[in-house]
């Protein structure tokens, strides 16, 4: 017997798909639940908090120097940049003037950390898109050379705790300028390798162009920052708009793109590596002998009452520290403004209407660090 199904109405049902928290494409213990119709994403709900350790509250129960270590573990891919915001907040409350040599060294290390962080993004992102292991090997190769230099300076490869309120923990090695230039020469080659591997790669372009678009107006409204907002055409760079350290003494332009898609977020970061190389070279030309700490610094800082908000341009965007002091040797309240958390707000808008596979690379293009998101 043949059953006639021509007039039968079939009911379709959307599927809820869990991505994370342990999926290899989630860039940490991040979970997103996708509502999908076939291969199309209809809705997205992000879930965070799997890595919450109470770093802000821990800082409130430790003195101002001990808190530096918690900043390292909050933004572990750019620990120097996280340390910088924290010590600058302490310095603002204590009205400490940082010696010029220490400021130049801080700039060099923060820009090197930006290069290192961006190379890690390029490597992981290339794998997300499907170019397999070569991008990750390129990225890891360049990052290791920078990490080796950081170890020579601070004694540690990731959690440096090298910055101090007032300056630096100790002087850099005598061959510091030469070693930095060696690392920069390697980084230039790394940029060429990625440019040749990905930028003109037809498959890479097809996977990333016009995917995960966020407009400039929406990016501003959601509080986005860093390369993610600059890829949407917004020239927001705190090193330019609110110069700190000695950024107003050197020449550089804010790198932007117009499309606001996954490809542009990749391209902005690649170009920022070359820009950071140029910034560091300018810093080395201006680096002169001198003290790295003020002459009279107490062993234990005790700050007056007050509050301050300090923000700097970290690799992922605005890394801010809101600090309240009620006197004494530890902050009464400390709040970290996470660039990653703010940038994640756009994830749903970027992904709805895209394919499931596109949602993975959209997430990767935001370049989140989960310990900064959760804190």
- Tell me what the mean pLDDT of segment 119-142 comes to: 86
47, part of any domain: no
Residue 38's pLDDT is 85
pLDDT band at 126 (very low <50, low <70, confident <90, very high): confident
pLDDT band at 2 (very low <50, low <70, confident <90, very high): low
pLDDT at 29 over 70: yes
Contact assessment for residue 310 and residue 332, using Cβ atoms and an 8 Å cutoff: no
Residue 25's pLDDT is 55
Domain count, the chain: 1
pLDDT band at 134 (very low <50, low <70, confident <90, very high): confident
pLDDT digits (tens, 9 = 90+) for 345-354: 999 999 999 9
Residue 129's pLDDT is 84
pLDDT band at 315 (very low <50, low <70, confident <90, very high): very high
Residues 6+ apart with CB under 8 A from 122: 135, 138, 139, 194, 198, 266, 269, 270
117, part of any domain: yes
Query: What secondary structure does DSSP assign to 189-202, as a single string?
Result: HHHHHHIIIIIT-H
* Enclosing H/E stretch for 19: strand 15-19
pLDDT at 35 over 60: yes
Angle between helix axes 176-194 and 262-286 (nearest 10 degrees) is: 160
249, part of any domain: yes
10, part of any domain: no
pLDDT digits (tens, 9 = 90+) for 81-100: 999 999 999 999 999 999 99
pLDDT at 3 over 70: no
Q: Of 127-136, 149-158, 290-299, where does mean pLDDT reach its minimum? A: 127-136
- Tell me what the mean pLDDT of segment 187-193 comes to: 94
Residue 239's pLDDT is 94
Residue 1's pLDDT is 59
113, part of any domain: yes
Residue 5's pLDDT is 59
32, part of any domain: no
For residues 50-75, b (16+ Cβ closer than 10 Å) or e, as one string?
Answer: bbeeebbebbeebebbebbbbbbbbb
Angle between helix axes 100-129 and 79-94 (nearest 10 degrees) is: 150
pLDDT band at 158 (very low <50, low <70, confident <90, very high): confident
- Tell me what the mean pLDDT of segment 248-270 comes to: 93
pLDDT band at 157 (very low <50, low <70, confident <90, very high): confident
Full residue range of the structural domain in which residue 358 is found? 55-374
266, part of any domain: yes
Residues constituting the chain: 375
Contact assessment for residue 341 and residue 372, using Cβ atoms and an 8 Å cutoff: yes
The whole-angstrom separation of Cα 321 and Cα 335 is 6
pLDDT at 76 over 70: yes
CATH of residue 113: 1.10.645.10
DSSP, res 36: E
Residue 13's pLDDT is 75
27, part of any domain: no
For residues 344-368, b (16+ Cβ closer than 10 Å) or e, as one string?
Answer: bebbebbbeebebebbbbbbbbbbb
Residue 30's pLDDT is 85
């Amino acid at each position: 017997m043949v059953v006639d199904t021509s007039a039968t109405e079939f009911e379709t049902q959307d599927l809820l798909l869990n991505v994370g928290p342990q999926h290899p494409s989630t860039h940490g213990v991040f979970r997103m639940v996708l509502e999908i119709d076939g291969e199309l994403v209809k809705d997205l709900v992000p879930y965070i908090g799997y890595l919450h350790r109470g770093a802000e509250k821990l800082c409130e129960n430790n003195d101002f120097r001990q808190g530096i270590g918690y900043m390292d573990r909050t933004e572990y891919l750019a620990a120097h940049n996280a340390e910088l915001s924290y010590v600058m907040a302490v310095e603002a409350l204590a009205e400490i003037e940082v010696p010029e040599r220490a400021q130049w060294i801080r700039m060099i290390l923060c820009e090197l950390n930006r290069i290192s962080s961006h190379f890690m993004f390029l490597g992981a992102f290339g794998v997300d898109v499907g170019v397999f292991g070569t991008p990750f090997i390129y990225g890891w190769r360049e990052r290791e050379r920078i990490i080796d230099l950081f170890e020579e300076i601070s004694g540690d490869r990731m959690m440096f705790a090298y910055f101090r309120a007032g300056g630096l923990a100790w002087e850099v090695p005598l061959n510091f300028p030469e070693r930095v230039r060696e690392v920069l020469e390697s980084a230039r080659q790394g940029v060429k390798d990625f440019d040749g591997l990905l930028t003109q790669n037809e498959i890479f372009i097809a996977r990333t162009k016009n995917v995960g678009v966020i407009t400039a107006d929406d990016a501003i409204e959601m509080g986005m920052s860093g390369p993610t907002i600059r890829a949407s055409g917004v020239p927001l760079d705190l090193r330019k708009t609110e110069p700190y350290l000695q950024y107003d003494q050197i020449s550089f332009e804010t790198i932007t793109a117009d499309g606001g898609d996954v490809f542009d977020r990749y391209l902005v970061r690649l170009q920022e590596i070359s820009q950071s190389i140029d910034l560091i070279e300018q810093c080395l030309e201006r680096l002169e002998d001198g003290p790295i700490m003020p002459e009279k610094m107490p062993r234990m800082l005790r700050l007056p009452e007050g509050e301050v908000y300090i923000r700097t341009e970290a690799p992922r965007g605005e890394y801010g520290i809101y600090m309240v002091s009620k006197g004494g040797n530890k902050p009464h309240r400390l709040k970290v403004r996470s660039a990653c958390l703010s940038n994640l707000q756009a994830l749903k808008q970027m992904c709805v209407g895209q394919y499931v596979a596109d949602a993975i690379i959209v997430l990767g293009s935001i370049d989140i660090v989960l310990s900064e998101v959760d804190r």
